[in-house]
Structure 1
Amino acid sequence: MDEDTRDELFHQAKKWVEEAGEIIRNKINDPLTIDTKSDAKDLVTQMDKAIEYFFVQRIKQEYPNHLVLSEEGYGDDVTSMDGTIWIIDPIDGTMNFVQQKRNFAISVGIYHDGVGEIGLIYNVIDDVLYSAKRTQGAFRNDVKLPKLKERLTLEKSMLGLNHYWLCDNRLVEGTEMQRLVRKIRGTRSYGSAALEFAFVAEGILDGYLAISLSPWDIAAGMVIVNEVGGVSTNIEGKPLHILEKNSVMTCHPAIHDQLIQEYIQVGKK
């Protein structure tokens, strides 16, 4: 993708993300219709569906040759990363949206022939937009994020962990995850993978480890983290498959290999 095309797509996507955020803020206190998907913890609301439809309708009208991979079913059946694909989570952190009315985000990643070109993560309630264009750096609103600090040890790291770590039998039965948690400076869990990717890029988390994330959870964040020098792999250190569910590690490069070793030791129990 050439720079002019990337810039045009970025400005259009940013405009739509901000418009969608305004819609959510204006309706945040309206009564919600709440349904479940895979289980009682997997929530979806009419707002998730409305915002996804908002994006799909505009993308298809403006860019009819582009494909959309999205969570709530209005997108395309994407089986290949060929061409230009928008990967969208209309509300990442739906449970937070429902119960807290904060700590959720709109996530939009744009990929071309498998390469992440644009990432946008919008913290709607705080009106903070994390964004990146490939090779042009990452931003928090209009402020460019610095590259991740050069020196970092695992002992001085703060990691985001999603709650599924507590449900993995290998971790519950063993002590390696407990040892890791005792070793690092601290852990946090915000309930939105997109925001946790953004926090790694910002440097307020040093890493994020999550089990079973979907493409729309990680697509935008991978682009943004990459632009500040971070790395994103599966939990064994292998490349992420963007069209599949993944166990994900995104982090400062200085702690990447050590974190993998901690996990591999767990896996051998």
Structure 2
Amino acid sequence: MNRTDWISLEKKVTEWIRDAGNKLRRSLSGSLDVHTKSAHNDLVTNMDKEIEQFLVRRIHKYYPGHQIISEEGFGDKPTDTEGILWLVDPIDGTINFVKQKCFFAISIGIYENGKGKAAYIYDVMNDGLFHCISGSGAYLNNKRLSPLKPVKVEDALIDLSSTWIKPNKRIDQDVLTDILLKCSGTRAYGAASIELAYVAAGLINAYFTMRLSPWDYGAGLILIHEVGGQTTRADGLPIDILSKSSILAAAPGLHQDMVRHIRSQVASGKFLREP
């Protein structure tokens, strides 16, 4: 697709995502049909399914040759990254949606032959749309985001769940201890797409997790790259956008420091396991 095509696509996606956001806001005044999936804290609602179907139908209508990976399974099952691939999360932060009625987002990342081309993360309750077309700058609504500047560990605000600093099966609980003792502070918002968007906006300086699905991180990676940030797996290796993965996303300098620290901890005998 050429630039004109991407601009036309952005107009469509912006309209769809705002319509979907209106549906979600209206749904909060009624009752939700809530079920668990893989665990008691892995929720799905009738609105996750409704919004995903709404978006998938429109993508298939206007872009029938494109493929879709989506959380609730209404998309496709691509086996490679050839052509144009949409990574769609209808409600990222479903627990927040159900219990807090805030800090949840609609996330759409679009890749062409494996390269990030466009990203849309809509913070529904704040009416904040983080978006970009690769090479044209990243924005929060109409305000352009500034390029990220290098950050030292001592000055960093780092986002991570407490899951990864207590006993778990994916990372030794002590791997990040020294980093967290040195940094300015930690945060956790419970919606990966918003957290990645916050890295792109410079509101936090790094985001770390040991397990995300493509629809969770697809759009956020594109936004961060657009403002000069860096994203890899926790061990510094490239991310496979078709697979679940650990994610380390950070400002320049900080990313390298965190990767070096994690690798040194693994070399000393601490464990790190990909999904």
> Cα deviations across residues 70-121 of structure 1 (Å, max 9, x unaligned)?
0001000111111111110000000000100000100001111111110000
Amino-acid identity (%): 39
By how many angstroms is 1:29 displaced? 2.2
Answer yes or no: is 1:232 the counterpart of 2:231: yes
Confirm or deny: 8 A CA contact 1:215 1:244 kept in the other structure. yes
Q: Tell me by how many angstroms 1:167 deviates.
A: 3.8
Distance 2:146 2:73 in 1: 36
Segments ≥4 residues shifted beyond 6 Å: none
3-state SS of paired residue (2:203): coil
- When the two structures are aligned, how many residues end up with a matched partner? 266
In structure 2, C-alpha distance between the alignment counterparts of 1:24 and 1:155, rounded to whole Å: 39
Q: Equivalents in 1 of 2:74, 2:204: separation in Å?
A: 33
1:33–1:45 contact (8 Å) kept in structure 2? yes
Shift of 1:220: 0.4
3-state secondary structure, aligned to 1:91: strand
Segments of structure 2 that go 5 or more residues without pairing to the other structure are 271-275
Structure 1 unaligned spans of 5+: none
Alignment of 1:30-41 (within 5 A): 30-41=30-41
Instruction: Give the 3-state SS of the residue equivalent to 1:155 in structure 2.
Output: helix
Q: In the alignment, is residue 14 of structure 1 matched against residue 7 of structure 2?
A: no
Tell me, in whole angstroms, the C-alpha distance in 1 between the residues paired with 2:256 and 2:144: 27
What does residue range 82-231 of structure 1 map to in structure 2 within 5 Å?
82-149=82-149, 151-165=150-164, 166-168=166-168, 170-172=171-173, 174=174, 176-231=175-230
Aligned residue identity for 2:168: D
Match of 1:70 in 2: 70
> How high is the TM-score relative to the length of structure 2?
0.94
TM-align CA RMSD? 1.2
C-alpha contact 1:156 1:184 (8 A) present in aligned 2: yes
User: Which amino acid letter does the alignment assign opposite residue 202 of structure 2?
Assistant: G
TM-score, with structure 1 as normaliser: 0.96
Whether the aligned pair in 2 keeps the contact of 1:105 and 1:122 (CA below 8 Å) is: yes
